[in-house]
């Protein structure tokens, strides 16, 4: 059956905030240490201790924003341990993630330097679970106060004269769980209290993000919005795809056809979550002033055999390219409320962009999707309607194709995912409101459903030119191969 896609290029639907393409880096496993930070004395090429290869790779996908230092780590992190001469910094145990020594060599100054190198905005997550109001307040003063103050003076003694610009600040993380096991009423009160002392100094204006719900905890959103909406600019949401459930997630590489299908179905479930949480937010914030910040998302599987279970290191296959492509399409399509998202996590942890092994680095299929989709960053969303068939398999079913469309720099870009691992999808794509001239396409796909890049074969899965379309008046007949992510670009 031909699936129908209608793109109304003149029906504009607001800007797709580039921060939807944001990232997350926690002091977890080999993300910060080894992944970003190798230290100045390392043989791995670095600039002031930060790996050059990883920075270059991330700049190539126009990384807009980076969230740090956690995650669960954020609510155990005491920022003062991570400033001043490195040799004097406190060594501690990263109790949450693998029980390894954290030497605090990567702290506030190093993170801000990393963001400068990447050209990315910093998003810092403060500690509510085990921290104090004073500690949080002083962190913001340390980073952003311009003039004479105890914290600004200390920052200067530590080598940074000018304050940094800091916009995004999270007041706690997963405070329903690792961030303190709180009830929403209690956290709402704490949020109100802590955020009071997150000050705007000079012209630095902080965008305050409250810790939001886990998956479908709609009561959390209801209580936070009811009690604290006027004190926040953003409310977060966390959702991970675990094909086998949290306790038995399944292998990243060695999975069955059923697991493929369940992964796709669970990926698309995020749309229902966004819609239902948005409906609650609309009740208290009909103007949509408050952004939904999906600051943790991705496919989370069992760790690679033989690796530290607390390090969350997993491989990444063409299945993950589909998870990324479909999720980003959903975020694009909810750009009125979803104005930031941060895939977990940038390097060597969960659904990574890049994997490293000593001096080697490989790009994952997920990375390539972010590279293909960068055309959507800060683009004008345009209307896209899909009428597509269902993939049905036992108890699992999901629409075969998902997509989104936007306009930027004189081009209409349409991203389409064929989530069916066996069958190609034939599309009748009607373009309205623009002339169909000059079409080009790019695709990422593979023959095997678990195709991946490895340190031995780093280019197994990568984008290629896509020619599977034929113009027919102002329409295109498109043939999307099974398990593929395609971006079509139409010059206006
Ligand atoms: O991303 C891994 C962990 O998942 C984060 O630390 C936590 O916030 C979430 O539960």
* Ligand 1: centre distance to CA 72 (Å): 6
In this structure, the residue with its CA closest to atom 3 of ligand 1 is 71
In this structure, the residue with its CA closest to atom 5 of ligand 1 is 71
User: Does the model's pTM come out above 0.90?
Assistant: yes
* Ligand 1: centre distance to CA 74 (Å): 10
β-strand pairing of 360-363 with 354-357? antiparallel
* Ligand 1: centre distance to CA 66 (Å): 15
Q: Model confidence over 227-283: pLDDT tens digits?
A: 999 999 999 999 999 999 999 999 999 999 999 999 999 999 999 999 999 999 999
Q: Model confidence over 117-148: pLDDT tens digits?
A: 999 999 999 999 999 999 999 999 999 999 99
Q: Average pLDDT of 448-476?
A: 96
* Ligand 1: centre distance to CA 216 (Å): 16
Atom of ligand 1 nearest to the CA of 344: 1
Q: Please tell me the distance from the alpha carbon of residue 81 to that of residue 91, in angstroms, as a whole number.
A: 8
Q: Please tell me the distance from the alpha carbon of residue 246 to that of residue 243, in angstroms, as a whole number.
A: 8
Q: Please tell me the distance from the alpha carbon of residue 33 to that of residue 54, in angstroms, as a whole number.
A: 12
Helices of type H across 145-232:
150-157, 184-196, 218-228
In this structure, the residue with its CA closest to atom 8 of ligand 1 is 71
Ligand 1, from 96, 170, 178: best to mutate by most atoms within 8 Å of Cβ? 178
pLDDT at residue 436, rounded to an integer: 87
Q: Average pLDDT of 333-362?
A: 98
Q: CA 79, 80, 81: angle at the middle one, nearest 5? A: 90
List pocket residues of ligand 1, CB cut-off 6 Å. Answer: 26, 70-72, 173-174, 296, 344-345, 350
* Ligand 1: centre distance to CA 174 (Å): 8
In this structure, the residue with its CA closest to atom 6 of ligand 1 is 71
Q: Model confidence over 316-326: pLDDT tens digits?
A: 999 999 999 99
Q: Please tell me the distance from the alpha carbon of residue 168 to that of residue 125, in angstroms, as a whole number.
A: 8
In this structure, the residue with its CA closest to atom 4 of ligand 1 is 71
Atom of ligand 1 nearest to the CA of 296: 1
Does the N-terminal peptide bond of residue 365 adopt cis geometry, omega within 30 degrees of 0? no
Ligand 1, from 95, 174, 246, 342: best to mutate by most atoms within 8 Å of Cβ? 174
Does the N-terminal peptide bond of residue 127 adopt cis geometry, omega within 30 degrees of 0? no
Q: Please tell me the distance from the alpha carbon of residue 283 to that of residue 425, in angstroms, as a whole number.
A: 39
Q: How far is CA 195 from CA 66, 133, 164, 198, 233, in A?
A: 21, 8, 19, 5, 11
> ipTM strictly over 0.95?
yes
Atom of ligand 1 nearest to the CA of 74: 6
pLDDT at residue 407, rounded to an integer: 97
Can you spell out the DSSP letters for 347-403? Answer: BTSSS-SEEEETTEEEE-HHHHHHHHGGGGTTPEEEEEEEE-PEEEETTEEEESEEE
What is the phi/psi pair of residue 169, to 5°? -135, 125
Length of the chain: 492
Question: Of 15, 24, 68, 25, nearest to 291 (Cα)?
Answer: 15
Atom of ligand 1 nearest to the CA of 73: 6
Q: Model confidence over 48-85: pLDDT tens digits?
A: 999 999 999 999 999 999 999 999 999 999 999 999 99
In this structure, the residue with its CA closest to atom 7 of ligand 1 is 71
Has residue 414 got a pLDDT over 70? yes
Tokens representing 75? 């609510």
pLDDT at residue 435, rounded to an integer: 86
Question: Of 436, 334, 446, 429, nearest to 388 (Cα)?
Answer: 429
Q: Please tell me the distance from the alpha carbon of residue 183 to that of residue 222, in angstroms, as a whole number.
A: 12
Atom of ligand 1 nearest to the CA of 96: 6
Question: Of 87, 154, 76, 168, nearest to 122 (Cα)?
Answer: 168
* Ligand 1: centre distance to CA 298 (Å): 11
Distance between alpha carbon 20 and the CA centroid of its chain, in Å?
7
The answer to whether the beta carbons of residues 169 and 126 sit under 8 Å apart is: yes
The answer to whether the beta carbons of residues 449 and 318 sit under 8 Å apart is: yes
Q: How far is CA 358 from CA 43, 51, 213, 367, in A?
A: 9, 11, 37, 19
What is the distance between the terminal CA atoms of the chain, rounded to a whole angstrom?
A: 29
- State the catalytic residues: 174, 296
* Ligand 1: centre distance to CA 310 (Å): 11
Choose the weakest-confidence range: 2-11, 126-135, 173-182, 183-192.
Answer: 2-11
Q: Give 2's pLDDT tier (boundaries 50, 70, 90).
A: confident
Q: Please tell me the distance from the alpha carbon of residue 411 to that of residue 408, in angstroms, as a whole number.
A: 5
Tokens representing 458? 């780093």
Atom of ligand 1 nearest to the CA of 350: 1
Q: Model confidence over 183-213: pLDDT tens digits?
A: 999 999 999 999 999 999 999 999 999 999 9
pLDDT at residue 434, rounded to an integer: 87
Ligand 1, from 24, 29, 71: best to mutate by most atoms within 8 Å of Cβ? 71
Atom of ligand 1 nearest to the CA of 173: 8
pLDDT at residue 1, rounded to an integer: 58
Ligand 1, from 70, 172, 236: best to mutate by most atoms within 8 Å of Cβ? 70
Has residue 386 got a pLDDT over 80? yes
Mean pLDDT (the chain) is: 97
Does the N-terminal peptide bond of residue 211 adopt cis geometry, omega within 30 degrees of 0? no
Q: How far is CA 297 from CA 242, 252, 340, 346, in A?
A: 11, 16, 11, 11
Q: How far is CA 335 from CA 175, 251, 435, in A?
A: 26, 32, 25
* Ligand 1: centre distance to CA 297 (Å): 9
SS3 content of the chain, % helix, strand, coil (to 5): 30, 30, 40
Task: Give percent above pLDDT 90 in the chain.
Answer: 97
In this structure, the residue with its CA closest to atom 2 of ligand 1 is 71
Q: Please tell me the distance from the alpha carbon of residue 22 to that of residue 457, in angstroms, as a whole number.
A: 28
The answer to whether the beta carbons of residues 190 and 172 sit under 8 Å apart is: yes
* Ligand 1: centre distance to CA 71 (Å): 5
The answer to whether the beta carbons of residues 308 and 256 sit under 8 Å apart is: no
């Amino acid at each position: 059956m031909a699936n129908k896609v209608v793109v109304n290029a003149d029906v504009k639907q607001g800007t797709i905030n580039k921060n939807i393409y944001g990232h997350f880096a926690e002091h977890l496993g080999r993300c910060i240490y080894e992944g970003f930070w190798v230290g100045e004395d390392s043989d791995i090429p670095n600039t002031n201790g930060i790996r050059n290869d990883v920075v270059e790779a991330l700049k190539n996908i126009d990384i807009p924003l980076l969230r740090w230092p956690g995650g669960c780590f954020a609510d155990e992190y005491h920022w003062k341990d991570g400033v001043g001469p490195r040799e004097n910094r406190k060594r501690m145990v990263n109790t949450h993630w693998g029980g390894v020594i954290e030497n605090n060599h990567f702290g506030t100054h190093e993170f801000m330097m990393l963001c400068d190198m990447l050209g990315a905005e910093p998003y810092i997550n403060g500690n509510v679970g085990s921290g104090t109001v004073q500690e949080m307040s002083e962190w913001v003063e340390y980073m952003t106060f311009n003039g004479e103050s105890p914290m600004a003076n200390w920052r200067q003694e530590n080598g940074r004269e000018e304050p940094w610009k800091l916009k995004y600040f999270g007041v706690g993380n997963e405070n329903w769980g690792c961030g303190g096991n709180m009830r929403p009423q209690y956290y709402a009160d704490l949020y109100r209290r802590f955020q009071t002392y997150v000050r705007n100094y000079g012209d630095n204006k902080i965008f305050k993000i409250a810790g939001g719900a886990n998956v479908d905890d709609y009561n959390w959103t209801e209580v936070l919005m009811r009690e604290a909406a006027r004190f926040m600019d953003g409310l977060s949401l966390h959702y991970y795809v675990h094909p086998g459930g949290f306790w038995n997630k399944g292998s990243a590489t060695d999975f069955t056809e059923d697991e493929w299908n369940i992964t796709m179905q669970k990926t698309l479930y995020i749309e229902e979550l966004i819609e239902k949480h948005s409906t609650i937010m609309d009740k208290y914030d009909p103007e949509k002033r408050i952004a939904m910040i999906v600051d943790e998302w991705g496919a989370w599987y069992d760790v690679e055999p033989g690796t530290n279970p607390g390090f969350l290191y997993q491989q990444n296959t063409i299945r993950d390219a589909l998870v990324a492509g479909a999720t980003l399409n959903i975020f694009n399509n909810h750009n009125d409320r979803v104005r930031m998202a941060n895939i977990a996590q940038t390097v060597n942890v969960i659904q990574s962009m890049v994997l490293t092994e000593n001096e080697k680095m490989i790009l994952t299929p997920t990375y390539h999707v972010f590279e293909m989709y960068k055309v959507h960053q800060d683009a004008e969303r345009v209307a896209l309607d899909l009428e597509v068939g269902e993939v049905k398999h036992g108890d699992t079913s999901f629409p075969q194709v998902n997509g989104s469309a936007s306009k930027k720099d004189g081009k209409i870009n349409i991203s389409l995912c064929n989530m069916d691992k066996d069958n190609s999808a034939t599309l009748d794509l009607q373009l309205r409101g623009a002339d169909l001239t000059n079409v080009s396409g790019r695709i990422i796909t593979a023959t095997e459903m678990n195709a991946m890049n490895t340190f031995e074969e780093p280019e197994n899965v990568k984008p290629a030119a896509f020619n599977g379309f034929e113009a027919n008046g102002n329409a295109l007949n498109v043939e999307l191969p099974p398990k593929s992510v395609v971006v079509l670009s139409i010059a206006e």
